[in-house]
Structure 1
Amino acid sequence: MKKKSKCRELVIPLKGNRTFLAMKYLIILLVAFNLNGFSVVKAQQIAEYEVENANLKACIKKVEQLTGKGFLYNGNELERVGRVTLHLKDVGLDDLLTRILQGSGYTYELVNGVIAIVRMKDVPQREVEQERLKGRVLDAYGNALPGVTVLIKGTNMGVVTDTAGRFTLAVPKEREIVLAFSFVGMEKQEIKIVDFQREINVVMREKAGELEEVVITGYGETTKRKAAGSVAVLTKDAFENKIPTSVDDILQGLVAGVAVKATSGRPGESSKIRIRGINTIQGDAEPLWVIDGVPLQDDLPEIDTDQIKSGNLNQIFVNGVAGINPSDIENVTILKDAAAAAIYGSRAAGGVIVVTTKQGRPGKMRVNYSMSLTMGLKPQRDANLMNSREKLAWEQELWDEFSADAFAASAPHVAVVGITGMVRANKLGRDGKLWTDEGFEAMSAAEQEAYLNDLASHSTDWFDELFRNSFEMNHHLSLSGGDQKYTYYFSMGYASQEGLVRKTDYDRYNLNLKLHMMPSPKITIDATVKVSRLVSGSYSGSVDPFSYAYFANPYERPYNEDGSYRADMTYQNLSAINDGNISTDLLPSNGFNVLREIDETSGKNDKMTTSGSLNLRYNITS
C-alpha cells in the first residue's frame, strides 16, 4: 500500500507572462529563505565562549555543544589547522564564527539549515608546521611490543607500532606535546615530548587485573582463562578501605573457599588460613607463601609443632609473612587446588598464596605517606550476669536443695557449688585455709554468715580488671620513580599495636628497596632487599583471660586490703573438691591470682629478618 504524502503544494496565481512571473517568485522565496537562515545565525547569542590553544575542529565542536546547531566540516583537515585562543562573553554566533575562522583560510555557509565550514577560494590554508617523531615501545623485559596505540593527547592523530615496536608520527611543531601509549594488558602511559629530533624509547608495564586478570604463579605469569586449576586474584584496590596489621588479615572475607580465622586476640598473631578446608589428617595444612617469586621456608622454633599450631604467641613466626607490610602489596594470587602441586610439589598441598609487592614507575619521584590510628574498646561485662549477692543466694539455694541433707547425714560425697558450698561443707575454714591445709579450723555458723555477707558487699568486674582500651597506629612512607631505563621503589613502615589484654603488645619495623634497571634493550636487572623486625610481648600464663573474666565469680577480689594479691578460692579448687582428689601441688603457696600471673610473668619474642634477591635477564633475540 502506498503512503499518502503529507506535503502540500504552494499554488501561486499567475497572470500575464506566467513563466516570467514564476521565476520571479522563486528567486524571491530562495532569497527570503537564506536571509531568514542567516538572520537566525546573527541573532543567536552565546553567553560565554573560551578555548585555549585549540585547533579548528575542537573550536567548532564546542560551538556545537553550546548552540545545538548542526555543522558540516572535514574533521581531518580542521584538526591540522592553526591554534585558537579566545575568551568572549555575550557574543553573537555570526561574530563568534568569524573570529574563530579569521585568517584560517576557511569560512562558513548555511546549507539547508546546516552550517558548513568550507575552504575559501584562492586563500592559502594556515596549517601548523609538522615534524616526524620516531620511537620504539618495549615491555619490562626488553621485548618489542607491536600494535601499541600512540596518540597525541587531546586529538585522534596517532599511529600503531610495527612488529619491531617502532613508530613514526607526524606531530605539530610546538614547544611540547604529550603522547599517550595504550595496549591491552599494559598500564597506559603519557610522556611529554620536548625534543622532537631525539628518538624516544618507551617501556610499558604489565597491569594485573586488566581484562583477563593476570595470574602470577611465582614461576611465571598467565591469565585466568589459560590457568590450569582454580585461582583467585586480589589487586591493591581490594585493600584500600582496610587497615590490616598483617598480610593474612587482608584476605579475610575476600576470596571464596579461603577461610581466615584468628587463633586468639593477641596482637601480631597470625591467623589460621585454610584453602578449601583441611585436606590432611596428620600433615601440615598451612598454605605455602610465595613473596615476589621466592617461596618462604622459615624455620620453626624448636618446640613441639602441635604446641605451635595450637594458637600460642609463637604462631607469628610460623608462616614468615608477618614481616611484610600490607601497604607494600601490589596484588595477591591464590592457587586453590592440586594444580599448584605441579609447580611447588608437596609443599603446595595446602594451597599457595603468591604475593607481589609494589615497584617503581617511570616519572618524577612520587612520595606517599599514610597513617592510620585505631582505637579498640575493651569488652564489657554482660549485664545479665549475676552480681555477688545474687550469685551467693543462688549457691545457697542449691546447697539447701541438693547438699544440706547429705552433709548432715555425713554422706561420703557432697556436691559443692561455689564459695557457699565450700564454707557450708567445711572445705574452707578460718584464715582462708582449705581443709587439707595444716592447722585447718572450720568456721562457726556465725563466722560463716559474716564471711558470706562480706563477700556479698562487693562485686568485681573482671572484664575491667583484665582488659584495657587498645590503641594501634600504622605509618608507611614510600618513594618511587625513575625513567625509561631504571625505576626504584623504597618504603619503610612502622606498626604498633596494644592488645586488649593487659601487658600484650606488638611492634613491626619494615624496610623495602626494589630496583629495576635496563641498561640496554637486551639486559634487565632486578634487585630487591627486605629488612624486617618483629617484637611482641605477652604474659606467660595459661589461663584464657576472656574465659576467666566471664566465668570467675564476682565475689572474688583481686587484692587484699593491704594491696597484696588475693587468692581465688573457687576457680581452681571447685572441680578438684567435687572430684574428691584435691591437690594444691600445682598452685602457688599463696593461692591462684590471675592478675599476679599477668603482672609477674612475661614472654618476649624478637625476630630480625633480612632477605635479598638479584635477577639478571639477557634477551638473546633482538
Structure 2
Amino acid sequence: MRMINKILLSLIAVLCLDATVTAQNKQVSGTVTDPAGAPVVGATVLVEGTTIGSTTDASGHFSLNAPEDAKLNISFIGYEPQQVDVAGRTHIPVSLKEDSHTIDDVVVTAMGITRSEKTLGYSVSTVKSDELTKARDGNVLNALSGKVAGVNISSSSGTAGGSSRIIIRGQSSLGSSGQPLFVIDGMPVSNQSYDPGNAGSALSGAAVDPGNRMGDIASDDIESINVLKGAAATALYGARAKDGAVIITTKKGSKNQQTSVSINSTMRFESVLRLPDFQNSYAQGVPTTGAYSYGYQNGWGPKIEGQTVKNFLGQDVQLRAYKNNVKDFYQTGHTYINSVAVSGGDDKNDFRLGLTAHNQTGVIPNNEYDKYNVSFNGGRKFNDKLEARISFSYAHTTSQGRPAQGSNDVNVLVNQINAIPRTTDINWLKNNWYAQDGTTVTQASVDEAGKTGNLYWTVNKNKNTGTVDRMFGSAVISYKPVKGLTITNNLGTDFFEEQRRQIYAWGTVGLPDGQFNTNNITYRQINNDLMISYDTTFGKDWSFKAMLGHNINQNFTKYLDVTAKNLLVADIYSYANAESVITTNDQAKSRLIGVYGEIDLGYKDIVYLSVTGRNDWSSTMPKSHRSYFYPSVSAGFVFSQLIPQNDVLSFGKLRLSYANVGSDTVPYALDFLYTPESSIFLQYVGNNSIPHGGLLAYMAPATYPDPNLEPQNQSSFEIGTDLRFFNGRIRLDATYYYNKTTKNIVRLDVANSTGFFYMRKNAGTITNEGVEIMAGFTPVETRNFSWDLDVNFASNRQLVKKLDPSITSYTLSAGFNSLQIKAAEGEPFSLYGTYWMTDDEGNYIIKDDGTRAVSETTKNLGKVAPDWTMGISNTLRYRNLSLSFLIDVRYGGVMYSGTVSDLRVNGMAEETIGKNRTDIVDKGVKQDGTENTTAITPYQFWSNNYSSKVSEANVFDATFVKLREMVLSYQMPQRWFKNCFIGSLALGVEGRNLWLMKSNVPHIDPETNIFGPSAVGSGVEYSAIPTTRSWGFNIKLTF
C-alpha cells in the first residue's frame, strides 16, 4: 500500500508541477468532502451571522471573503452540519459526516413538486445519482434492478443496446403493457419500443430487439430518480400514470459556484453470462438410425470415437468434439462510456453542459451500438419575483447487427448457433460463409439439402441497422407576484425519428431473391402545465399549501413500413431495386386536457393531510364519457413528535392514502377506419390486384367500436409506516397496498354474423395486493470503518376477479403450439398450454408407441409473475476505500423456454445422453392402467416428449439469485491535491450481472424475456440473445 501511495503521489506531483495557489488575506477557500474523501457538490458554506456564502463546485471547492476570526457553517442534505473556525487560515479542508439516517429528505413528487419526505402520505422510493453511475449501464432502467421494492426490471436480450421492461406493483390491466409514466424535469417522455408488425399479442414470429426509448438517456445527466408507486402519488398526472410514475430530475449547476469540470470514464469487457450445457459425445446424423451425416444440424448421430468422415466442406476429417465451438462464436464485447460536464454559476445564474459518448460492441460479431448525448440545464433568477429555467437533451444513436430472436425467420441467430454440431470446427464456418459462382455470391449451406445456411452469412451480410435522433426538454418560468403566491408554466416537448432496416441479402438460404424491410417512426409529444400555488402558515402551528393547474398533452405518431421483395441486383437496398414493394402508412394523434388541484395542511410537524383532484378530457373516448374526474387523499402522522426524546425510537410515522384514477384507450379505437388494400383473394379470378377496374378497395374494420365505452378505473388503498431506531442505525419502511382495476378496456371475440370479428368494450376486474418492506442497518460505524446493509422486499398477489359474462378467460398473448398467456377468473396472469396426461395418482399415461400422451386441451401451467422479490445491498468503507455489492433475488413464477426445447429435441443438450443413449422405458402407465414396458430410442423420447408441442415440458420455475452489481473504488485523499488543479480523483473496478448464483431453468438465463416494454405479458423466451456479464474499470476526475 505504501508503494502504491508513493507511485500515485509521484504521478499527481507531475500533474500539478505548474499549478499554484495564491492566497489573499481576506479570501478563504477550501474543499468539502465526504467520509471517503469524495467531493461534496452543492454544499452550502455560510459565514456565521452574515449573508456571505458560497456553494461547493464539482470538485467540492468553495471560495469566499471572510474575517480572520469568522466561523463557517457548512451544510448539505444527508450530512450532519458542521462549524469550523477560520482562525486566520486561507485554506480550510472540511470533512462532513454522513447523516444517512436523516428524517427530512426532500423528494420530487407529481408535477415536479418538491416535498419533505416526512410530510407524504404515500410511499416514494429514491435512487440518487451515485447509485445510478456506480456501475453505469447503457440502459438507465437496468440500474434500478434490485434497488427499489415493488419494481421489476427484465431484459429482453443481451443485444448491444437492448431493451428493458419495468413493472411497478404488478400488471394491473388487460389491455395495456403496464409501463409507468416517465417524466424528466416535468416533461412526460416516451419509453415505447414501437413494433407495428409484432405488437406483442403474438408469441411466435421473429423480432429484432430495437431497444426502448429510456435507453436514450445518459445516466451521468441524472441527479435522482423518484419512483411513485401508488395512485395517490401519481393522481395529479391522471390517466397516463395509472401504472405508476418514474420522475427523473437532471443535474444542474449551483449558484455562486466556480466553473468546474467533471469527467467520468468507464471501460468494460462483456461475455455471455450463461451458455447451454452441451453434450460432447455424439455427432450429427440421421435421428432414426444414428448414422453419421453432415446434412443434419443435431446431435443424434454416432458416438464420437475418431472415425473418419466427410464434413460439410467435403473434407475428410476425424470425428472429434469441439467443446468450445459455440463459446468461440461469441466474442468479448467492449463498452466505453465517457462523459464530461461543465457547470458553474453566479448569484443570478447557474448552468450545466454535459457530453456523453457510449460506444459498445456486443458479444455477437458485428453487433455494434453507439450513443451520443448532449444535455444542457440552465437557470436565471431575474429578481426576487421572476425565475426561469431551460433544460434539454439531444441523443443520437446508431446500431447495426441487432440479431433476430424468436422463430420462423432465417435470420434468427440463436437457432443457428445452438444447432452447430459438436463435431464442427467454428473456423470452418467462419472461413467458408459464402459460395461464389462466377460473379454471384450466395450463402454457403452447411447441409446436403442446401436448406441450412452458414450463420456467419447472417452476421456479415444480413446486418440489421437502426438510427434514432431524439430531443426532449422543457422551459419553465416562475413568477411570484406576492409573498407565498407562485405562478409557474412548464412547456416541454419530446420528439424523435427512428429508422430501422432489416436485411435478407440476395442469396440468403430460404430467401434467395433477397428482401429488406424498413420502418420509419416519427413521434412527437407536446406538454404544457400551468400551475398557481399558494404557500402560507397560520400562527405557529398550521401550514397551508394550495395548487391549481391546467394541463394539455398532445401525442402524434407516424409509422411508415416498407417491405421490398425480390432484389434485382445484389447488395443494393433501394426500393427501385425491388421487384415488389409493399407500403403501409399509419398515423395516430391524441389529445388530453386536464385540470387539477391540491390542498395540503400541516399541524405542528405532526399531522399532514393532502387532498387532490383531477378532471381529464380525452380525445380517444366517446363524447358521453370523454370527461372523467378522480380524487385522492393521503395523510401522514409523525407520532414520534408526541413521544419524549429517547435513544431507541428516533423517528416514527404512519401514512395512509386512497385514490381513484381513470384512463382512456388508444387513438381511433372508436372510429370506423377503412384501410386501403393492394390485393384481395378472389377464387377463380385471375387478376385480383387493386385498383381493379379503375376502382380502389378498402378493408372494413375488424373491431366494432362500442359508442358507450367508459374509462378504465383504478382505485388504490395504501397504508404504511416509517421507523428509525438508535439514531437511524436501524431503519424500517413497510407498506401494504390494495389496487383494484375495473372496467378494463379489452377487445373481445364476437360472432362473425355481426360483420365484425371483435368488439372493444369494458370488461374485467383485476386486483393487486402486496407488501413492500425496506430495511436498513448500520451494524458498524467508526471514524475509519462503516458497514451499511440495505434490504428491500416486495410481494404482490395479482387476481383476475371478474371478466365479461360471455367468457371465463381472456387471451393476452398466443402462439407456439397452443402456448398462451391468459387472464382467467380466480387466477393471476398465467401460462396456459398443452400438458402430459396423467392418471389420478399422477403417473404419466404412456401411449402404445412408448411416448407420453399429450392433452388436446390446455391448462394453467403457472403464473408468470414472481411470488416475491428481494434486493440485498452491502456497502463497506474503510477510509478512502469502498466496496459495495448488490444481490438480486426473484422467487416463484414460471417461464417457458423455446431454446431449451430446441436443445433437447435436437439432441444437443447434455441431459439427452442419458445412459449412453441406450433405449428408454419411460416411467408411467398405459391407458389400461398397467405399467409401461415399451422401450423407445432417446431420439423418440426427447423429440416427442419435449417438443414445443408439449408446453408443460418446457415450463420451469423462474426463481433466480444474481450478483447484480459489484464496485470497488478508491478515492484519492483530498490533501494530495491541495496545490493542484485537480479537485478530486477516484479509481474503481466495477462489474454488472456478474454471477447467476441460483437458477432452476437449464441452459439459459431465466431473466430473458421475449416481450419488449410495449408488449402485454411476460414469462416467455425463445431463441433470445444470451444476456451478458461485464466487468471493467472506472476513473472519475474533477477540476
* TM score, norm. by length of structure 1: 0.54
Q: Hey, what does 1:324 align to over in structure 2?
A: 217
Q: Hey, what does 1:575 align to over in structure 2?
A: none
In the alignment, is the contact (CA less than 8 A) between 1:376 and 1:500 conserved in 2?
Answer: yes
Give the CA deviation at 1:235.
1.6
Q: Hey, what does 1:180 align to over in structure 2?
A: 73
Map of 1:139-154 to 2, 5 A cutoff? 152=47
Choose the corresponding residue for 2:261, options 343, 364, 367: 367
Please report the RMSD computed on the Cα atoms of aligned residues, expressed in angstroms: 4.3
**Greater mean deviation of Cα atoms: 183-192 or 220-229:** 183-192
Secondary structure of the corresponding residue to residue 364 of structure 1: coil
Give the CA deviation at 1:462.
3.2
Q: Hey, what does 1:396 align to over in structure 2?
A: none
CA distance in 2, matches of 1:370, 1:598: 33
Aligned residues: 386
In structure 2, do the counterparts of structure 1 residues 592 and 422 end up closer, same or farther at CA, with 3 Å as the change threshold?
A: farther
Give the CA deviation at 1:425.
7.9
Map of 1:229-240 to 2, 5 A cutoff? 229-240=122-133
Aligned-pair identity in percent equals: 21
CA distance in 2, matches of 1:335, 1:309: 31
CA distance in 1, matches of 2:463, 2:77: 56
Give the CA deviation at 1:613.
2.0
Structure 1: where are the runs of 5+ without partners? 1-148, 162-171, 194-206, 393-417, 435-447, 571-583
In structure 2, do the counterparts of structure 1 residues 208 and 361 end up closer, same or farther at CA, with 3 Å as the change threshold?
A: farther
Q: Hey, what does 1:594 align to over in structure 2?
A: 455
In the alignment, is the contact (CA less than 8 A) between 1:378 and 1:470 conserved in 2?
Answer: no
Give the CA deviation at 1:593.
2.4
Say if 2:104 is the partner of 1:212. Answer: yes
CA distance in 2, matches of 1:309, 1:361: 50
In the alignment, is the contact (CA less than 8 A) between 1:229 and 1:338 conserved in 2?
Answer: no
Q: Hey, what does 1:473 align to over in structure 2?
A: 336
Say if 2:147 is the partner of 1:261. Answer: no
What's the CA shift string for 1:95-139, capped at 9, x where partnerless? xxxxxxxxxxxxxxxxxxxxxxxxxxxxxxxxxxxxxxxxxxxxx
Give the CA deviation at 1:286.
1.3
Q: Hey, what does 1:391 align to over in structure 2?
A: 282
In structure 2, do the counterparts of structure 1 residues 547 and 151 end up closer, same or farther at CA, with 3 Å as the change threshold?
A: same
Choose the corresponding residue for 2:464, options 603, 607, 611: 603
In the alignment, is the contact (CA less than 8 A) between 1:260 and 1:274 conserved in 2?
Answer: yes
In the alignment, is the contact (CA less than 8 A) between 1:501 and 1:545 conserved in 2?
Answer: no
In structure 2, do the counterparts of structure 1 residues 549 and 424 end up closer, same or farther at CA, with 3 Å as the change threshold?
A: closer
Map of 1:185-196 to 2, 5 A cutoff? none
Amino acid at match of 1:554: R
Give the CA deviation at 1:301.
3.7
Amino acid at match of 1:316: G
Amino acid at match of 2:474: S
CA distance in 2, matches of 1:561, 1:478: 43
Secondary structure of the corresponding residue to residue 520 of structure 1: coil
Q: Hey, what does 1:507 align to over in structure 2?
A: 370
Say if 2:479 is the partner of 1:618. Answer: yes
Choose the corresponding residue for 1:493, options 356, 368, 378: 356
Amino acid at match of 2:196: I
In the alignment, is the contact (CA less than 8 A) between 2:286 and 2:296 conserved in 1?
Answer: no
Give the CA deviation at 1:367.
0.7
Q: Hey, what does 2:423 align to over in structure 1?
A: 555
Amino acid at match of 1:534: T
Amino acid at match of 1:553: P
In structure 2, do the counterparts of structure 1 residues 364 and 151 end up closer, same or farther at CA, with 3 Å as the change threshold?
A: closer
Give the CA deviation at 1:222.
1.6
Amino acid at match of 2:378: L
In the alignment, is the contact (CA less than 8 A) between 1:368 and 1:478 conserved in 2?
Answer: yes
Q: Hey, what does 1:518 align to over in structure 2?
A: 381
Q: Hey, what does 1:419 align to over in structure 2?
A: 285
Q: Hey, what does 2:968 align to over in structure 1?
A: none
In structure 2, do the counterparts of structure 1 residues 342 and 564 end up closer, same or farther at CA, with 3 Å as the change threshold?
A: closer
In structure 2, do the counterparts of structure 1 residues 461 and 308 end up closer, same or farther at CA, with 3 Å as the change threshold?
A: farther
Amino acid at match of 1:597: T
Q: Hey, what does 1:42 align to over in structure 2?
A: none
CA distance in 1, matches of 2:375, 2:430: 54
Give the CA deviation at 1:249.
1.6
What's the CA shift string for 1:239-294, capped at 9, x where partnerless? 35222222112101111111111110011112111112222233121121111111
In the alignment, is the contact (CA less than 8 A) between 1:209 and 1:235 conserved in 2?
Answer: no
**Greater mean deviation of Cα atoms: 339-348 or 500-509:** 339-348
Amino acid at match of 2:457: R
CA distance in 1, matches of 2:45, 2:335: 48
In structure 2, do the counterparts of structure 1 residues 356 and 266 end up closer, same or farther at CA, with 3 Å as the change threshold?
A: same
Secondary structure of the corresponding residue to residue 343 of structure 1: helix
Q: Hey, what does 1:534 align to over in structure 2?
A: 397
CA distance in 2, matches of 1:151, 1:449: 85
Structure that is richer in strand per residue: 2
CA distance in 2, matches of 1:386, 1:536: 35
Give the CA deviation at 1:302.
5.7
Give the CA deviation at 1:497.
1.1
Give the CA deviation at 1:297.
3.5
In structure 2, do the counterparts of structure 1 residues 286 and 356 end up closer, same or farther at CA, with 3 Å as the change threshold?
A: same
Structure that is richer in helix per residue: 1
Q: Hey, what does 1:68 align to over in structure 2?
A: none
Secondary structure of the corresponding residue to residue 220 of structure 2: helix
Amino acid at match of 1:278: Q
* TM score, norm. by length of structure 2: 0.33
Map of 1:253-402 to 2, 5 A cutoff? 253-297=146-190, 301=194, 303-304=196-197, 306-307=199-200, 312-317=207-212, 320-362=213-255, 363-378=257-272, 385-387=278-280, 390-392=281-283
Give the CA deviation at 1:594.
2.1
In the alignment, is the contact (CA less than 8 A) between 1:476 and 1:492 conserved in 2?
Answer: yes
Choose the corresponding residue for 1:567, options 421, 439, 445: 445
In structure 2, do the counterparts of structure 1 residues 595 and 303 end up closer, same or farther at CA, with 3 Å as the change threshold?
A: same
In structure 2, do the counterparts of structure 1 residues 159 and 209 end up closer, same or farther at CA, with 3 Å as the change threshold?
A: farther
What's the CA shift string for 1:310-346, capped at 9, x where partnerless? 89545424xx322211011111100112224412222
In structure 2, do the counterparts of structure 1 residues 187 and 467 end up closer, same or farther at CA, with 3 Å as the change threshold?
A: same
In the alignment, is the contact (CA less than 8 A) between 1:557 and 1:568 conserved in 2?
Answer: no
Between 1 and 2, higher relative CO (CA 8 Å, sep ≥ 6) is seen in 2
Give the CA deviation at 1:213.
2.7
Secondary structure of the corresponding residue to residue 529 of structure 1: strand
CA distance in 2, matches of 1:552, 1:540: 17
Say if 2:118 is the partner of 1:225. Answer: yes
Secondary structure of the corresponding residue to residue 621 of structure 1: coil
Give the CA deviation at 1:475.
0.5
**Greater mean deviation of Cα atoms: 223-232 or 493-502:** 223-232
Give the CA deviation at 1:611.
2.6
In the alignment, is the contact (CA less than 8 A) between 2:326 and 2:420 conserved in 1?
Answer: no
In structure 2, do the counterparts of structure 1 residues 210 and 516 end up closer, same or farther at CA, with 3 Å as the change threshold?
A: farther
In the alignment, is the contact (CA less than 8 A) between 2:144 and 2:153 conserved in 1?
Answer: yes
In the alignment, is the contact (CA less than 8 A) between 1:150 and 1:159 conserved in 2?
Answer: no
Secondary structure of the corresponding residue to residue 477 of structure 2: strand
Map of 1:123-142 to 2, 5 A cutoff? none
In structure 2, do the counterparts of structure 1 residues 598 and 182 end up closer, same or farther at CA, with 3 Å as the change threshold?
A: closer
Q: Hey, what does 2:347 align to over in structure 1?
A: 484
Give the CA deviation at 1:485.
0.8
CA distance in 1, matches of 2:461, 2:285: 27
Give the CA deviation at 1:224.
2.9
Secondary structure of the corresponding residue to residue 503 of structure 1: coil
CA distance in 1, matches of 2:237, 2:174: 21
CA distance in 1, matches of 2:262, 2:132: 16
In the alignment, is the contact (CA less than 8 A) between 2:108 and 2:247 conserved in 1?
Answer: yes
In the alignment, is the contact (CA less than 8 A) between 2:180 and 2:244 conserved in 1?
Answer: yes
Give the CA deviation at 1:380.
8.0
In the alignment, is the contact (CA less than 8 A) between 1:230 and 1:337 conserved in 2?
Answer: yes
Amino acid at match of 2:259: M
In structure 2, do the counterparts of structure 1 residues 567 and 479 end up closer, same or farther at CA, with 3 Å as the change threshold?
A: same
